Amino acid sequence: MDKVHDQDYIANDTSEQVHNDQDQNTDIPYAELSGMVIETNDLKEVISRYFDPTDGYCPKCGQQDFVIMRNAKNGRLEAWCCFNCYNGVYDVIEFVLWIEDIDETEAVRQLATQIEILE
């Protein structure tokens, strides 16, 4: 659980992330695992476990700048940001690491556990 991840995660760069390391508890390569986590977890449902996103108030800064965005290609609500304190286009993994204040590896592990990829 306290695995140290020696790669820095650059929050605003979602297109160029390269993860060649494998998760310790599974044979699934990290990149594949994070893809499955994003595919399978419903962003709005995950957010709703922490706060009600419908009024747009950000739980971190308190401004009414929190939005969930729809992917025009597949129609899924799968990106979010707070225009005030966390501006960008973020996925469900980034949401969990942001709200829980944990690292990316741990966020992926939590989400994978919830969809029962990991125990």
Q: Which residues bind Zn ion (CB under 5 A)?
A: 58, 60-61, 82, 84-85
Nearer to Zn ion among residue 11 and residue 115 (C-beta):
11
Toward Zn ion, which CB reaches closer, 81 or 108? 81
Task: Report the C-alpha dihedral over residues 52, 81, 114, 54, rounded to 10 degrees.
Answer: 20
What count of residues does the chain have? 119
Give the nearest distance from C-beta 2 to Zn ion in angstroms: 28
Could you give the 3-state DSSP secondary structure of residue 77?
strand
Minimum distance, C-beta of residue 65 to Zn ion, in the bound complex (Å)? 6
User: Minimum distance from CB of 99 to Zn ion (Å)?
Assistant: 11
- Output the six-digit token pair for 51: 């706060």
C-beta of 23 vs 53, nearer to Zn ion: 53
Nearer to Zn ion, 32 or 65 (CB): 65
Q: How far is the CB of 81 from Zn ion (least distance, A)?
A: 9
User: Given its phi and psi angles, is residue 88 left (phi above 0), alpha (psi -120 to 50 degrees) or beta?
Assistant: left
Question: Which residues are within 8 A (CB) of 77 and not within 5 positions of it... i.e. 6 or more apart?
Answer: 42, 43, 44, 68, 69, 70, 71
